[in-house]
Amino acid sequence: MSHSRFFSRRALLGAGAFLAATSRSFAQPLAAPAQAKKLGLTPHTRFALNAEIWFGDKPFLERVRAAADLGYPSLEFWPWRGKDLAALGKLCAELRLEIAQFTAWGFTPGMNDPANHAAVELEITESCKVANDLGCKLMTVVGGNDQPGMTRDLMHAHITSALKRVAPIAEQHGVTLILEPMNIRVDHKGHCLYGTEAAVKICRAVNSPFVKVNWDLYHAQLAEGDLCGHLADGFDQLGYAQVADTPGRNEPGTGEIHYPRVLKQLHELGYRGYVGLECWPKDGEAKAAERVWAADSWS
């Protein structure tokens, strides 16, 4: 029996068009929301816009307002010193923006030298008070650049000692210190702590719920790769995550990292905290926000 009685050419063409459209819908990320100003309301992950990098041509407080205009629920920044903290706190309360984290201890002087540990204690104490005033629950700390005459293992032991010393201070204030490992291939040559395996080892040795890892996935890709595998291995020490693509350190979707898979892995492991957008917008902030939205559009 001929099937032409049941299927017209028009029907077949229509069915083909439907199948083609359906296959595209599975292959492509979800369309961004119609309201471009709300691109920060991403499908799965809660992102914290880095106010040091995004909208860098604006004064700091205007960057904060721009983050809220895009719809992002939170922001992060680098050192608190030199900022108008009262104005920042007031503006964030007005905009209902949370402060996810800021930097409490940077590259120098190094936490990896015991001669600096008293200063580390004083600075962490002051920073915890600032964090409490701002309603911030996380603070980044950095291990430090190489110390002359010290092995890497010895420098890591000194970082461990410093963190054990200040962990009770962090606990007293209800603030978690997040230790950030770097990469030395591109950005931080001469830094003593690179790769998440070393940072996880240090945090496990400190053994405090108030000392965890700031898992910068850009640094991790350059230092060791296997992002999803390392996240699974060290998830018990994950305190915070940051994203940027490589090469370029621009937003997700501009380089080699398949961020839909990595963000899905974070979610599947149980992470529900903020993810910092410590990435330089490649083609402007609006386009960067679109790419971040697309990277988070996994199913």
DSSP per residue, 205-222: HHT-TTEEEEEEHHHHHH
Residue 27 lies in a domain: no
Strands, E, within 51-97: which ranges? Answer: 74-79
Peptide bond into 247 cis (omega under 30): yes
Which residue segment(s) compose the domain that 157 sits in? Answer: 36-295
Residue 192 lies in a domain: yes
Candidates 72, 32, 78, 26; CA nearest to 52 is 78
CATH number at residue 50: 3.20.20.150
pLDDT in tens, 44-82: 999 999 999 999 999 999 999 999 999 999 999 999 999
Q: Which pLDDT score, from 0 to 100, does residue 37 have?
A: 59
Question: Nearest Cα to 70, choosing from 82, 85, 58, 84?
Answer: 58
Say if 14 falls within a structural domain: no
Alpha-carbon distance of 162 to 238, in angstroms, equals 19
Instruction: Specify if 108 maps to a domain.
Output: yes
Q: Quick: pLDDT tens for 146-183.
A: 999 999 999 999 999 999 999 999 999 999 999 999 99
Residue 2 lies in a domain: no
| 114 inside domain | yes
In a domain, 31, yes or no: no
pLDDT of residue 33: 62
pLDDT for 98 equals 98
pLDDT of residue 30: 58
199 inside domain: yes
Number of domains in the chain: 1
- Please report the pLDDT score of residue 194 as a whole number: 96
Residues of the chain short of pLDDT 70, as ranges, are: 1-37
What H or E segment, with its residue span, contains residue 241?
strand 238-242
